[in-house]
Structure 1
Amino acid sequence: MSVSIVSRTGWGAKPWAGDPAAVALSRRSEFFVHYDGGNPISYTGSKVPQTIDRAHRNQGWAGIGYNFVIDQDGTIYEGRGWGLQGAHCPGHNTTGIGVQIAIGGDQKPSDKALAACRALYEEACERTGRTLAKKGHKDGYATACPGKHLYAWVQAGMPAGDYQPTPGGSTGSPSSGASAVARYQVVINGLSYGYGASGAHITRVGEALVKRGFGKHYKSGPGPEWTDADTRNYQDFQESLGYSGKAADGVPGERSLKELLGTLPAKVTAKPSPPKYPGRDKFGPGKSNSYITQLGQQLVRKGYGKFYTQGPGPKWSEADRRNVQAFQRAQGWTGSGADGLPGPETWSRLFS
């Protein structure tokens, strides 16, 4: 990897309080820059992502909503990472990679933070195979974020001078004694591969690597959870196929996976039916019922929980209305079509 990223393990992240959806890199087309809000931030280090994670969980989210966070020392921390849907900009959480630079108010970002963000952007373009659109949060949502300094920087093309972030860095696995390894996921035929992915299909990959003579990094297993050992073994396999550089980063691609297994595994699951729309009379001021809780929880899962300061819960609130309205506007609806009250079409799209 050309940039150093402190993994979730490295900064002490808690397990997800839910199941953020996987997103293929091929779906990414935007790179969003954020700041923390109205108050300057005086601290750096792991406290930065830990504080954000705690705040986002208190809003009912699965955990930290940004894909990455960068402190003023230029250290990059993994949030949702490369492979999971963010919760940073309604309507853009799948297409956009959200990155918060940990400043607030009129605070100016450091040169190191800007350089790290630019390096992360270049890495994102490399991984997706396209030039991502550079955007501030306000380009996708009505907000003051990312503040005047960062937004001016984004509009100027995200210049970073001559500063280069330190290569390698913490991976959350200090016992490995080796250089940093790739810590992101890809989705192939509905199944996730790469660091942290789990399932019977991961065991199958490990067993195939061992069978082909590429299992020397396993100390136990292979097992159902993808680890650094899987990455290093897969990297050896990729190099045996003639791959090099970032094409041999230890994370499967379709061609190498098919070469290893003979075919691409497909995830076979029955698509659940969306819950039946309960009727418009269940929503609005003065209403209180389980459908409102169900609605709010799904809004959070979809990345539209920005206005909740607590909950969601069974009693209708202005936060429910504003979150529904944000979702409706993301569908391209305006006027009465985005009134914040869920009709049948809003309900259908939200739960699809």
Structure 2
Amino acid sequence: MPIDLIPRADWGARAPRGDYSRLSSTRGVKIHYTGGRVDPAIVDDHRRCAAAVRGIQNGHMDGNGWMDIGYTACVCPHRCVFVGRGPGRVPAANGSGLNSGHYAVLGLVGNSGLIIPPNDMLLGILDAIDWLREKGGAGDQIKGHRDGYATSCPGEPLYAWIRRGCPRPGETAAPTPTSSWTESTVNDLPLLEPGATGRHVKTAFYLLKARGYAKELDPKVIDPTVYSPKFVDEVKKLQEDKGLDKDGRIGRKTWPKLLGL
């Protein structure tokens, strides 16, 4: 299937405030997520996708003070690739000192709302990578934003796919040194016990909501970075439903259930 490329004019991009730094090649591509909430309604309403990309550009130009959107391209749940800075131009999203090494491709998922990348988004990311290899001299590397930069980006579900070697949906992932790619992914995640804090707790919180639990837990009221008693109770409900020991700990058996593996 040919790439479904959305030119800048078609998604309503603002003109850049200056000239791009040129790139003739990169070591590869780094994958990103928004780091905020993505409205799940975009899955069923493609018109919202262009609006989301415009919002990201506005945030980068007006909030960050960048000359344009920081990504090389953005990919929506409908396998469309929105041209950002485009091939042959240095992105701004990878971090200081890291931008010339890799192009930056955003998957339109976040840390709440739409968290799990749909299959068509994964296919679109692969389309974007092929495009950047053909048109921008991108090398073979496919990494997450967090590889080399201290961030939770691109989120656990998308990063798990990257760690598996970015298999096309429906294909079998290449074998890993451990007994399965699930074990390889989960082994990189910490054991969360009641009272734990930090970004992994926040990831677990929103994954739990994505699985249909913790509906009454409002992140505006309860701190999603703290593994609080109410949060623990919701995890125990998931564990009971999945036939696991209701110990309230998120470890090697519970993480896969949260990730939908």
Name the counterpart of 2:76. Answer: 71
Q: Aligned partners of 1:45, 1:128: CA distance in 2, in Å?
A: 24
Name the counterpart of 1:17. Answer: 17
The residue type equivalent to 1:23 in the other structure is L
Unaligned runs of 5+ in 2: 43-47, 172-261
Name the counterpart of 2:38. Answer: 40
Write the deviation string for residues 74-113 of structure 1: whole angstroms up to 9, x where unpaired. Answer: 2110001002110011222112110000111151011000
Q: How many residues align?
A: 161
Q: Aligned partners of 1:54, 1:61: CA distance in 2, in Å?
A: 10
The residue type equivalent to 1:76 in the other structure is V
SS of the residue aligned with 2:106?
strand
Q: Aligned partners of 1:129, 1:141: CA distance in 2, in Å?
A: 23
The residue type equivalent to 2:59 in the other structure is A
| Offset at residue 130 of structure 1 (A) | 6.5
Q: Aligned partners of 1:14, 1:6: CA distance in 2, in Å?
A: 14
**What is the aligned-residue identity percentage?**
30
- Candidates 120, 132, 143, aligned match of 1:112: 120
Higher strand proportion = 2
The residue type equivalent to 1:103 in the other structure is V
Contact 2:87/2:135 (8 A) holds in 1: no
Q: Give the 5 Å matches for 1:228-239.
A: none
Q: Give the 5 Å matches for 1:124-273.
A: 124-127=132-135, 131-161=139-169
SS of the residue aligned with 1:29?
strand
Q: Does 1:86 align with 2:91?
A: yes
Write the deviation string for residues 185-214 of structure 1: whole angstroms up to 9, x where unpaired. Answer: xxxxxxxxxxxxxxxxxxxxxxxxxxxxxx
SS of the residue aligned with 1:132?
strand
Write the deviation string for residues 126-182 of structure 1: whole angstroms up to 9, x where unpaired. Answer: 44566421100000210000000010011111112259xxxxxxxxxxxxxxxxxxx
The residue type equivalent to 1:40 in the other structure is V
* 1:23–1:124 distance in 2 versus 1, CA, 3 Å: same
* 1:33–1:126 distance in 2 versus 1, CA, 3 Å: same
* TM-score, L = length of structure 2: 0.57
| Offset at residue 49 of structure 1 (A) | 1.4
Contact 2:29/2:102 (8 A) holds in 1: yes
Q: Aligned partners of 2:142, 2:116: CA distance in 1, in Å?
A: 19
Name the counterpart of 1:29. Answer: 27
Q: Aligned partners of 1:60, 1:127: CA distance in 2, in Å?
A: 28
Unaligned runs of 5+ in 1: 164-352
* 1:92–1:9 distance in 2 versus 1, CA, 3 Å: same
Q: Aligned partners of 1:162, 1:131: CA distance in 2, in Å?
A: 25
Name the counterpart of 2:45. Answer: none
Instruction: Choose 1 or 2 for highest CA Rg.
Output: 1
CA RMSD, Structure 1 to Structure 2 (Å): 2.0
* 1:9–1:38 distance in 2 versus 1, CA, 3 Å: closer
